[in-house]
């Protein structure tokens, strides 16, 4: 029995081994056939048969995974009634608002219903969520732009932002240009980014969801060829602040001018937009540089010294007569600096301050005592006592041998012939009885009237004549009417033979500055019959002689001589306050002539000065050549906006006036310091938006008492 069981077991094992062997042989045969025929080794499936797990896994891996849903904004403010559609990185399957009274959302579109806050949630197909906080405010009743006017240079990029009333909102802001050939928009949503393409004027307008609009007028000019800074050099005391401005040729533009300091440890930049507000931090030297969008630069060298411990006035006790003018200067202790020296008066009913910065310019108006005080930026003071007495009676000078003819516009000798260069040493004297005017220059628009006010005559009979009726006419009552753009003189006389003239400037195109035509102004200068005049102050006349020996040749034309003097001042003189009024000349009979001589001194001697000094020196040189030159006081446009007091030179040619400004010219040099002569003979009627006339001296020579 046991033998039988054993035999059966052996048979079973043998059978099993046989089956395995047969399967192995069969598999080998199938593989061989597949390799031979190239058929795919996939067994046929029934219609309902499922893939093994591994196959399911491989199929799932072939589908790319998606990132969790995200919205473009996590927080936004909307105005009442505004709609907004958030952007998501993947499609949202569901949107939810947690406060539908404030924010309603449908198909991904948000509608602001009432003031308040709500959270909007986006959910993707995998259940991921993204939230955005929605703040609903009032609908804007208006909108404004950061700027209403703007000037750009060709190629310049700019971005304008919209400004809404407080507690209002608008997420939808659309910007457009009125002329894409002038201003091309580069971004029309939220902020208006654009580029200046060509010269001209266009408007950029922003529009809100509720139709409210605002526009900015944009003028495109040529790209700046250069940029000028308001001061090439400057000395400050530690702790002092100062504002530097910049400018460019008037036919160019740049909205963005960036300032930087070469050493922030010495000069700290406080503001670096249109102007540079700087603060002196410690002693040393640094440069402040302004740069335009197209890479043009200008720099100011700034020397920082100690804060002043004392300040000294040029006089500490002055005695004046009513009507006399005087100028005080001051200086701080050695090793210190204060660019700001402010002058004040204790009683302006006695002494009236006319200029309060850099130098104290004032006039005695009534008898009494007053104190003029100068104050530095850090509060250090010094004072001068001014005693004013009644005006002394002056006798008429009957020995004058030269007079000014208002008919011809020339200085003449007693026989009526024009003054010649050979007579240049003759004393010139303007009659103290000449007619006195309330104003001696008037700026009018075409069609405007002006009444001449004469307050220095005892005669009731006055005659008026216009030197150029095409520019302005005058009636028998002294009423001037502006006819056309230009400038001329209105000449008046009384029955005693006293006379004077009023300069009339009739404005032309205010939108443009007409730079001189050198050929035309040269022709005009060459037409002048010269009447040379010395100052008769020996030291000044000797300095002019020395300069003329260097720059003037006998074969030069009138215009070449004038240009040589102009270029000399531009090339050799620096803008500094150190000289200002370095001397006092008490024996000139005319205050204006006296000041011209005094202010010319520091430029001619030390090659430094301010606009007063530059203009006075040029007048001295021009009168010496023989031109009728005078100093003009007024205002000049600042690059940062507004106007500031300024002096320049006027040369009169055949009853016409031309503007010369070597000091401003020095700030406008071209490449390689080339003199461009932008301010050499400008016609004032086309430049009144740059130069505003307030007062012009009418003195035609110099006189010293003998």
Q: Give residue-wise pLDDT tens across range 86-110.
A: 999 999 999 999 999 999 999 889 9
DSSP conformational letter for 8: H
* pLDDT tens per residue across span 463-504: 889 988 888 998 888 888 988 888 888 888 887 777 788 888
Single out the residue of 691, 670, 666 nearest to residue 607, CA to CA.
666
Lowest mean pLDDT among 53-57, 137-141, 661-665, 699-703: 53-57
All domains of the chain in start order, with CATH: 75-137 (2.60.40.1080), 144-221 (2.60.40.1080), 228-305 (2.60.40.1080), 311-389 (2.60.40.1080), 394-706 (no CATH)
Contact 569/614 with Cβ under 8 angstroms? yes
* pLDDT tens per residue across span 296-354: 888 888 999 999 999 988 788 888 888 887 778 788 898 999 988 888 999 999 998 87
Distance, in Å, from the CA atom of 462 to the CA atom of 663, rounded to the nearest integer, reads 39
Residue 75 has pLDDT above 90, yes or no: yes
pLDDT at 557: 92
pLDDT at 394: 40
Residue 290 has pLDDT above 50, yes or no: yes
Lowest mean pLDDT among 289-298, 308-317, 392-401, 517-526: 392-401
Name the helix (H) or strand (E) containing 60: helix 53-61
Return the percentage of the chain with pLDDT > 70, whole number: 75
pLDDT at 107: 87
* pLDDT tens per residue across span 432-443: 446 666 667 788
Q: How many CA atoms lie within 13 A of 512 on its CB side?
A: 8
Distance, in Å, from the CA atom of 648 to the CA atom of 395, rounded to the nearest integer, reads 33
Specify the higher pLDDT residue, 355 or 670: 670
What is the average pLDDT across 607-626? 92
pLDDT at 183: 95
* pLDDT tens per residue across span 248-276: 777 888 988 888 899 999 999 887 666 78
pLDDT at 443: 82
Band the pLDDT of 673: cuts 50, 70, 90. confident
Measured at the alpha carbon of residue 556, what is the angle toward residues 552 and 557, in degrees to the nearest 5?
Answer: 125
Distance, in Å, from the CA atom of 124 to the CA atom of 131, rounded to the nearest integer, reads 12
CA distances from 545 to 137, 214, 423, 532, 535 (A): 77, 62, 16, 13, 12
Global pTM?
0.49
pLDDT at 670: 74
pLDDT at 367: 94
């Amino acid at each position: 029995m046991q033998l039988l069981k054993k035999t059966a077991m052996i048979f079973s094992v043998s059978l099993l081994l046989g089956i395995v062997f047969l399967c192995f042989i069969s598999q080998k045969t199938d593989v061989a056939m597949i390799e031979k025929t190239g058929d795919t080794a996939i067994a046929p499936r029934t219609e309902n048969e499922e893939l093994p797990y591994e196959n399911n896994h491989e199929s799932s891996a072939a589908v790319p995974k998606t990132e969790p849903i995200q919205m473009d904004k996590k927080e936004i403010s909307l105005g009442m009634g505004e709609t907004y559609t958030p952007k998501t990185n993947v499609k949202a399957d569901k949107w939810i608002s947690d406060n539908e009274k404030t924010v309603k959302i449908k198909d991904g579109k948000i509608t602001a219903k009432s003031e308040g806050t709500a959270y909007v949630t986006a959910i993707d197909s995998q259940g991921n969520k993204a939230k955005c906080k929605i703040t609903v405010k009032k609908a804007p009743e208006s909108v404004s732009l950061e700027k209403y006017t703007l000037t750009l240079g060709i190629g310049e990029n700019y971005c304008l932002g919209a400004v809404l009333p407080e507690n209002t909102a608008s997420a939808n802001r659309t910007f457009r240009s009125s002329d894409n050939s002038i201003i091309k928009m580069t971004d029309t949503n939220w902020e208006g980014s654009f580029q200046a393409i060509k010269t001209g004027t266009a408007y950029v307008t922003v529009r809100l969801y509720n139709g409210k609009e605002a526009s900015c007028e944009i003028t495109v000019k040529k790209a700046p060829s250069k940029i000028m800074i308001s001061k090439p050099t400057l000395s400050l005391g530690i702790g002092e602040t100062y504002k530097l401005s910049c400018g460019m040729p008037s036919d160019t533009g740049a909205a963005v001018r960036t300032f930087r300091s070469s050493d922030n440890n010495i000069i700290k930049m406080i503001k670096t937009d249109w102007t540079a507000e700087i603060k002196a931090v410690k002693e040393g030297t640094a440069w402040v540089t302004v740069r335009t969008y197209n890479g043009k630069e200008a720099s100011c060298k700034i020397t920082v010294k100690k804060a002043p411990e004392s300040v000294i006035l040029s006089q500490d006790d002055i005695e004046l007569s009513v009507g006399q003018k005087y100028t005080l200067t001051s200086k701080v202790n050695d090793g210190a600096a204060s660019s700001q020296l402010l002058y004040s008066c204790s009683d302006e009913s006695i002494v009236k301050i006319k200029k309060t910065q850099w130098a104290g310019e004032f006039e005695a108006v009534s008898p009494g005592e007053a104190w003029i005080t100068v104050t530095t930026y850090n509060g250090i003071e010094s004072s001068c006592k001014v005693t004013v007495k009644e005006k002394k009676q002056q006798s008429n000078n009957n020995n004058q041998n030269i007079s000014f003819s208002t008919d011809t516009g020339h200085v003449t000798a007693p026989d009526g012939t024009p003054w010649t260069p050979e007579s240049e040493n003759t004393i010139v004297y303007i009659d103290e009885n000449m007619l006195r005017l309330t104003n001696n220059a008037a700026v009018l628009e075409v069609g405007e009237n002006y009444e001449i006010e004469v307050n220095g005559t005892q005669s009731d009979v006055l005659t008026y004549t216009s030197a150029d009726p095409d520019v302005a006419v005058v009636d028998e009552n002294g009423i001037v009417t502006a006819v056309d753009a230009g400038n001329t003189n209105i000449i008046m006389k009384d029955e005693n033979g006293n006379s004077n003239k009023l300069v009339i400037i009739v404005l032309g195109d205010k939108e443009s500055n007409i730079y001189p035509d050198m050929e035309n102004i040269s022709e005009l200068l060459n037409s002048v019959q010269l009447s040379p005049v010395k100052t008769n102050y020996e030291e000044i006349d000797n300095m002019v002689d020395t300069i003329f020996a260097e720059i003037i040749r006998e074969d030069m034309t009138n215009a070449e001589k004038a240009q040589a003097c102009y270029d000399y001042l531009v090339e050799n003189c620096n803008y500094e306050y150190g000289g200002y009024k370095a001397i006092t000349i008490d024996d000139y009979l005319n205050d204006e002539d006296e000041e011209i001589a005094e202010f010319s001194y520091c430029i001619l001697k030390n090659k430094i000065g301010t606009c007063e000094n530059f203009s006075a020196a040029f007048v001295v040189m021009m009168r010496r050549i023989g031109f009728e030159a005078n100093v003009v006081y007024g205002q000049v446009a600042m690059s940062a906006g507004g106007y500031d007091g300024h002096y320049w030179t006027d040369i009169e040619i055949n009853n016409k006036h031309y503007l010369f400004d070597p000091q401003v010219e020095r700030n406008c040099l071209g490449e390689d310091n080339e003199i461009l002569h932008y301010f050499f003979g400008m016609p004032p009627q086309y430049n009144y938006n740059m130069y505003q006339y307030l007062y012009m001296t009418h003195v035609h020579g110099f006189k010293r008492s003998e």
